[in-house]
Amino acid sequence: MIQENGALVEFYRDAVQNNFKSAEAGRPIFDEKDFVRIQTPGDTRTVIARVASDQDKQRFPRAWDAFSRGLEIAEQGTPLEEWPQVTRSQVKELKHVNITTVESLAGVSDGNIQRLGPGYHQLRERAKQFLESADADAAATEWAREREAMQERIRLLEEANEALKAENATKTADADAAADQTEKRAPGRPRKVTE
């Protein structure tokens, strides 16, 4: 199941008996239809399973795209097994109700978190804090990368500036030397010296 738009979603294909064709043929005739299974994370009692409508395909585009291509999308987020704030038994209990990532735990509704039992409300709050902290760390890391890139760019610009200064100084020195030589070898009559 894929978590999308606050729900766990799975599209699947199943055979449904076509009563009209079965009556005509005198034997069971089945048609293949696309179905959708929708479940709220943390709630195993409310599962919607029905023929997939266009509205379902629009509401859950990522899950529909994966199903229509025959792909299985890996779950996105931090797996509960990798999060040090949960015990093994809590991981198993949460997996039983289709909560497999820290992100899905943080998104469980109040009503469903109460059904899980004592301690899960605090665990959900810790999951939210963990995600907020991770977002802040990601922003700080991105800022540090941008700062590092700017410092590198400034260093390169300073090097280019120094190279241009050196090139300009060389050209100025060459021009001065050429001007000195021009004065020494001026063609024509020498200048009058007045006393």
Give the β-pairing of 2-4 and 7-17.
antiparallel
* Prediction pTM value: 0.48
Residues 6+ apart with CB under 8 A from 30: 15, 16, 17, 18
Q: Which range (9-13, 76-80, 136-140, 186-190) has the least confidence?
A: 186-190
Q: Are residues 18 and 65 in the same domain?
A: yes
Q: Are residues 66 and 107 in the same domain?
A: no
Express each pLDDT in 158-190 by its tens digit: 999 999 998 888 888 777 776 666 555 556 776
Q: Are residues 130 and 84 in the same domain?
A: yes
State residue 134's pLDDT score: 79
Q: Burial level of 139, CB count in 10 A (0-12/13-18/19+)?
A: exposed
Q: Are residues 92 and 13 in the same domain?
A: no
Express each pLDDT in 123-154 by its tens digit: 889 888 888 887 777 777 888 888 899 999 99
Neighbours of 104 (CB within 10 A): 23
Q: Are residues 21 and 106 in the same domain?
A: no
Residues 6+ apart with CB under 8 A from 28: 17, 22
Q: Are residues 82 and 70 in the same domain?
A: no
Q: Which of left, alpha, beta for 125 (phi over 0: left; psi -120 to 50: alpha)?
A: alpha
Q: Would you say 180 and 174 are in contact if contact means Cβ atoms under 8 Å apart?
A: no
Count: domains in the chain: 2
pLDDT range class, residue 115, cuts 50, 70, 90: confident
Q: Are residues 69 and 90 in the same domain?
A: no
pLDDT range class, residue 72, cuts 50, 70, 90: low
Q: Is residue 184, in this structure, part of any structural domain at all? A: no
Q: Which of 53, 74, 95 is the last residue of a domain?
A: 74
Q: Which of 30, 54, 74 is the last residue of a domain?
A: 74
pLDDT range class, residue 156, cuts 50, 70, 90: very high
Give 13's strand partners.
34
Q: Which of 74, 98, 122 is the last residue of a domain?
A: 74
Q: Is residue 194, in this structure, part of any structural domain at all? A: no
What domain range is 148 assigned to?
77-179
Q: Are residues 88 and 67 in the same domain?
A: no
Q: Are residues 114 and 100 in the same domain?
A: yes
Mean pLDDT of all residues in 96-108: 83
Q: Are residues 67 and 100 in the same domain?
A: no
Kindly state the tokens that stand for 170.
């060389």
Rounded Cα distance, 36 and 34, in Å: 7
Residue 81 is given by DSSP the state G
